[in-house]
Amino acid sequence: MIRPLFQAFLFSLISFAAIQCSHSETLDSWIQKAGNEDSDKERLEILKSLRQSDDLPHNLVPDLDALIAAIDKYETNPRLDYFGPTVFKEQDYPFGVSEDSPFYPLTHLYRGRMRVWVILEYGGINKEYEVRRARYDLAREEFEKCLEHFPNSRIAKMYLGEPFPPEKEYTAPENAPPWAVAQRESLERLTDIIHWWIDNRLQENGEYGGGWGDDCEMWRWWVPALIAFEDPKMIDAQSFFTRSLMSQEHMKRGYTDHVFDVEHTAEDSADAITPMMHLEPDNPEWSKMALRLADLFENLWTGVNERGFLQFKSTYFSVDEVSDDPRKACDTVYHPRAV
């Protein structure tokens, strides 16, 4: 016969174990929902809801807080490449989540994406096969680990080579030739992508998140839709970007005031003014900017060579200075970009 006091103790012990098991199962369902979610924004909301839930054990609060902060930074940081230097050097990122935490598997997707980004962005990696291959292998491991825990993660599958179909479909007349259907669809999808960037990444100061020197290059991939079609949203966005960039302190005199190689110093002005000369060729605002470059070309950057022709004096110059280093005294295929 079980004594009443011992019976009460045994019942409370069993109840506590059942509650702990229930909490564990409920916590796992939260984590599974977050891990299999496609949207970073939705994943963040799921984790924030868990943070306010009674399903969260007190000892896991620090890990969840660190994870929420890391994902929020990934989603909202004005610099999309904020993690670049750290991941380039350490091949990892400090998420602040313990490796034995049930939340740790959620870091695999972000670590993998960060590693892929760094591979694509850093010339010292993507131009060296052995280094690039080793880095890709590390990134692949992260996506594979992600799928071990979250088998329905379409983003992890996508990085591993399993694309998922677009949500939007474009119908076409039955008698339309296949090449026309394909071309129309490619233009429409390019437009969708451009509009997404404008709606989701364009910031109040005109940047998109990659820094002026990289953001200015985006228009080159917009060309088929930006130049060939009169899309008001694209034109307004490009106009806003160009004015924002050309009004930056380093660009106020019409060309960068940083002395560096022409491949990079010419980008800010050339990639800002050129699209607007295509879109609004009669606008004196853009003509004035272009003529300023012609003035610098004629009166500062070039001189008359021994054959009687104008030639750039150096590969390094700015709005008010030309390098006198004889090792840089030549011109290149990049120089026409400056004008």
What does pLDDT average to over the chain? 93
Q: Are 266 and 338 in contact (CB under 8 A)?
A: yes
Tens digits of residue pLDDT in 225-278: 999 999 999 999 999 999 999 999 999 999 999 999 999 999 999 999 999 999
**Using DSSP, how many helices (H) and how many strands (E) does the chain show?**
15, 4
In terms of Cα–Cα distance, which of 339, 333, 273, 263 is closest to 301? Answer: 339
Copy the structure tokens of residue 259. Answer: 């002395």
Q: What angle do CA 120, 122, 123 make, to 5 degrees?
A: 100
According to the model, what pLDDT value does residue 25 have? Answer: 61
Copy the structure tokens of residue 128. Answer: 């060296």
The total of other beta-carbon atoms located within 10 Å of residue 270's CB is 20
According to the model, what pLDDT value does residue 23 have? Answer: 52
Q: How confident is the model at residue 167 (pLDDT cuts 50, 70, 90)?
A: confident
The total of other beta-carbon atoms located within 10 Å of residue 178's CB is 8
pLDDT above 80: residue 114: yes
DSSP output for 306-336: TTS-EEES-SEE-SS-B---GGG-S--TTGG
Copy the structure tokens of residue 197. Answer: 């960037």
Cα(115)–Cα(146) distance, integer angstroms: 14
Domain ranges of the chain: 16-159, 183-338
Looking at the chain, how many residues does it have? 339
Tens digits of residue pLDDT in 147-161: 999 999 999 999 999
Tens digits of residue pLDDT in 260-273: 999 999 999 999 99
pLDDT above 80: residue 104: yes
